Amino acid sequence: MNTQTKRRKPVRPLHFLTFALPGAALYAVFVLWPLLVAFGSSLTNEDAYRAVTSFVWFENYVRLFSDPAYLQTLSNTVILTIICAVVPNAVGLGIAILLDRTGWVFNALRAVFFVPVILSSVVVAVVWQQLLKDDGLVNSALRAFTSDPPGWLSDPNLALYSVAAIVAWQSVGVCVVLYLAGLQSIPKELLEAAAIDGAGPARRFWTVTWPLLAPSVTIMTVLSLIGGFKIYDQVKVMTNGGPGVGTTSTLAFDVVQTGLDSGEVGYSAAKAAVMFIIIAAVSMLSIRQMRKREVDL
């Protein structure tokens, strides 16, 4: 028997650079450089309708946090993000548990729940905008029961939650697929052993399934939080930031409106920079906190 051990080949710097440089170069050109340009622009008074641009340093940031409209936008975004992180995850997990069975019926139902995910968010927003408008199909049906149906998209107190409901509905399919994958990766032996020890369905879920689903919960929560802070299409199509002034405006919507419609490029860049910092901070904190409850098999 040959007992001679193989020597590990030394890392060759040239080979490492050959593989790493193309990816690093693309990242620098398409991610780091635009970020630096945007941050540089946020320190100026750049305006599409002004010929001369000059540095104003952090004046845009001071203006931003004293702007009531921006604070309203930030509040709207936080509410939307919380709803779009909690509701799809809870509903998606419940549906995944119900569909964690074999058979063509369950396979067909999985496809049904995933259909909204493959549709364009603009298409989904247009369809729901037509359904929920004051004289749309939903209110036409409700008029059989009441003479004053709610203004789903025209009532300032209701429009934000209508948009959140549509975004959450479209996100449920992703949660179902990811949680189904997580459920099917849990060894059946652990569940059978818990059942033999006398654990009922609820106890098996909380002591075996839920801890082992932690990686899936972490991924979906972080993706939902990031997606919530970037909501734009649905707001633009369904309410255009209204009704009224900014009642459904989000951070992403506000950045585009300020930069393209108002022409305040520097101020828009400051808003984008703050949005980037918020998303990065929330993502890192949520990953750090949620990984504490993950367990290894």
Within 10 A of 63 (CB to CB), how many other CB atoms are there?
Answer: 13
CA distance 10 to 3: 21
pLDDT confidence tier of residue 146, bands split at 50, 70 and 90 = confident
Q: Which residues of 200-223 are buried (b: 16+ CB within 10 A; e: fewer)?
A: eeeebeeebbeebbbbbbbebbbb
What the chain holds in terms of domains, given with CATH numbers, is 66-295 (1.10.3720.10)
CA distance 115 to 127: 14
| pLDDT at 103 (0 to 100) | 87
| Cβ pair 78, 259 in contact under 8 A | no
CA distance 130 to 122: 12
pLDDT confidence tier of residue 245, bands split at 50, 70 and 90 = confident
Q: pTM of this prediction? A: 0.87
Q: Please report, rounded to a whole number, the percentage of residues in the chain having pLDDT higher than 90.
A: 68
Average pLDDT, the chain: 90
| pLDDT at 1 (0 to 100) | 45
Convert the pLDDT of each residue in 174-230 to its tens digit: 999 999 999 999 998 999 999 998 888 899 999 999 989 988 999 999 999 999 999
| Cβ pair 53, 45 in contact under 8 A | yes
Region 268-292: mean pLDDT is 91
pLDDT confidence tier of residue 79, bands split at 50, 70 and 90 = very high
Within 10 A of 236 (CB to CB), how many other CB atoms are there?
Answer: 19
| pLDDT at 3 (0 to 100) | 47
| Cβ pair 179, 220 in contact under 8 A | yes
Convert the pLDDT of each residue in 51-76 to its tens digit: 888 999 999 999 998 999 999 999 99
| pLDDT at 291 (0 to 100) | 80
Q: What is the sign, positive or negative, of the torsion defined by CA atoms of 223, 236, 275, 32?
A: positive
